[in-house]
């Protein structure tokens, strides 16, 4: 699993990059009041997590409830503004990019003539694993190099996973239930929760996850050369 981090900086001075990935959360974009409730759904101990003032947009296409987060100001092009919070992805922008397979940097279509580009840092994935899971949306061909430059957990020649197939797998999130403090978090899964899992009715999701089931690992320079030949 890969993770978003702060931009790469020099040893002498930190400089803010001009371009900030679309999925990065900005200062002032905070978790909204949750108003969470559990509703019995039939059978002993079976519940469904919901908001008291729930809106259809609070759930993804598979019916999982998502953590609310406010949206900050946008520029004339509809892009988020404000100081980037580099270690955080906005849950709803991440979900939108992942669901529609949009570039995590510019939010445009990520498909290339060669497939979808996913980037991974050193020692974060096993390229021999036939089903890698990732919470990182893909990048478009134009921003593959940019994404590598912005994230310090990536080397300047990161591992590229060129995928032909990346089906939805599940979500990262926490499970709610009743405890000593009333309604509270009672489950903190250590990894992604697959769609169809019995815990999902009581999960509050924060990131969408895809499974790379058909991909080819290669270097970034190799990818860019192949894209140039395919253009």
Q: What angle do CA 110, 113, 116 make, to 5 degrees?
A: 40
Residue 180 zone, left/alpha/beta (φ > 0; ψ -120 to 50; rest): alpha
pLDDT of residue 36: 95
Closest CA to 96 of 109, 84, 85, 87: 109
Say how far apart CA 115 and CA 138 lie, in whole Å.
10
Tokens of 224: 């860019």
Average per-residue pLDDT in the chain? 88
Task: Determine the straight-line distance between the first and last CA of the chain, rounded to whole angstroms.
Answer: 30
Q: In 3-state terms, what secondary structure has residue 96?
A: helix
Residue 196 zone, left/alpha/beta (φ > 0; ψ -120 to 50; rest): left
Q: Assess contact for 110 and 139: CB atoms under 8 A.
A: yes
pLDDT of residue 9: 46
Q: What percent of the chain has pLDDT over 90?
A: 67
User: Scanning the structure block, which residue is given the tokens 């990894």?
Assistant: 191
Q: Tell me whether strands 24-26 and 84-89 are parallel, antiparallel or unpaired.
A: antiparallel
Per-residue pLDDT tens for 81-116? 999 998 899 999 999 999 999 999 999 999 999 999
Per-residue pLDDT tens for 124-157? 788 788 889 999 999 999 999 888 887 756 666 7
Say how far apart CA 137 and CA 94 lie, in whole Å.
7
Measured in degrees and rounded to the nearest 5, phi and psi for residue 184 equal: -155, 170
Measured in degrees and rounded to the nearest 5, phi and psi for residue 52 equal: -65, -35
CB within 8 A of 112, min separation 6: which ones?
140, 141, 227, 230
Q: Assess contact for 171 and 208: CB atoms under 8 A.
A: yes
Per-residue pLDDT tens for 45-93? 789 999 999 999 999 999 999 999 999 999 888 889 999 998 899 999 9
């Amino acid at each position: 699993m890969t993770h978003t981090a702060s931009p790469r900086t020099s040893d002498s001075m930190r400089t803010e990059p001009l371009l900030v990935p679309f999925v990065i959360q900005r200062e002032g974009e905070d978790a909204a009041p949750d108003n969470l409730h559990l509703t019995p759904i039939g059978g002993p101990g079976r519940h469904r997590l919901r908001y008291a003032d729930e809106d259809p947009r609070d759930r993804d296409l598979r019916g999982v409830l998502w953590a609310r987060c406010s949206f900050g100001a946008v520029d004339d092009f509809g892009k988020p503004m404000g100081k980037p919070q580099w270690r955080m992805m906005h849950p709803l922008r991440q979900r939108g990019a992942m669901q529609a397979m949009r570039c995590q940097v510019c939010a445009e279509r990520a498909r290339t003539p060669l497939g979808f580009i996913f980037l991974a840092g050193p020692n974060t994935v096993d390229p021999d694993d036939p089903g890698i899971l990732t919470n990182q949306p893909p990048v478009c061909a134009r921003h593959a190099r940019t994404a590598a430059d912005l994230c310090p957990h990536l080397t300047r020649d990161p591992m590229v996973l060129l995928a032909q197939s990346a089906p939805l797998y599940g979500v990262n999130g926490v499970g709610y239930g009743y405890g000593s403090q009333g309604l509270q978090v009672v489950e903190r899964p250590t990894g992604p929760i697959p769609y169809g899992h019995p815990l999902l009715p009581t999960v509050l999701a924060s990131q969408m996850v895809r499974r790379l089931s058909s991909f080819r690992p290669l270097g970034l320079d190799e990818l860019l050369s192949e894209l140039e030949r395919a253009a």
